[in-house]
Amino acid sequence: MSQRIVLIISSVFGLLAVGLGAFGAHALKGVLTANGRLETYELATRYQFYHTLALLVVGLLMEKFPALGISALLFMIGMIIFSGSLYILSLTNQTWWGAITPIGGIFLLLGWASLGWRFFKSQS
């Protein structure tokens, strides 16, 4: 995965995090409150934003460390599964989506582990 693609995708994820957060706080607040899932939705947005920033940094570092593309991919998959399942859970109140969330969390952890490993193995 190229540096350019990672930076574009991080921009899209950032745009979505801000947009979904604002949409949830205003247009969806009634549904989220009725479902008792406002905090769950906020958690999804928060984790998406944290990992969007991580993805952006990874993208910027890829010029020096091209092997960080694996970390970027793991962060992307993790965000989609972790935050995506929480968004769906919040809106549908179908609790089985919560069983999928930890899979996304594992991908996020693997992204961080991969990032640390790449730096550890780096000679520069």
**17 inside domain:** yes
Q: In the predicted model, what is the mean pLDDT of residues 99-116?
A: 97
Please name which of 85, 13, 75, 74 lies closest in space to residue 44, comparing C-alpha atoms: 85
pLDDT digits (tens, 9 = 90+) for 74-98: 999 999 999 999 999 999 999 999 9
Domain boundaries, position 74: 3-118
**111 inside domain:** yes
pLDDT at 124 over 70: no
**15 inside domain:** yes
**57 inside domain:** yes
pLDDT digits (tens, 9 = 90+) for 24-65: 889 999 999 999 999 999 999 999 999 999 999 999 999 999
d(C-alpha 10, C-alpha 80), whole Å: 12
d(C-alpha 124, C-alpha 122), whole Å: 6
- Please count the structural domains in the chain: 1
Give the per-residue pLDDT at 1: 87
pLDDT at 104 over 90: yes
Please name which of 92, 87, 84, 67 lies closest in space to residue 6, comparing C-alpha atoms: 67
**123 inside domain:** no
pLDDT digits (tens, 9 = 90+) for 10-28: 999 999 999 999 998 899 9
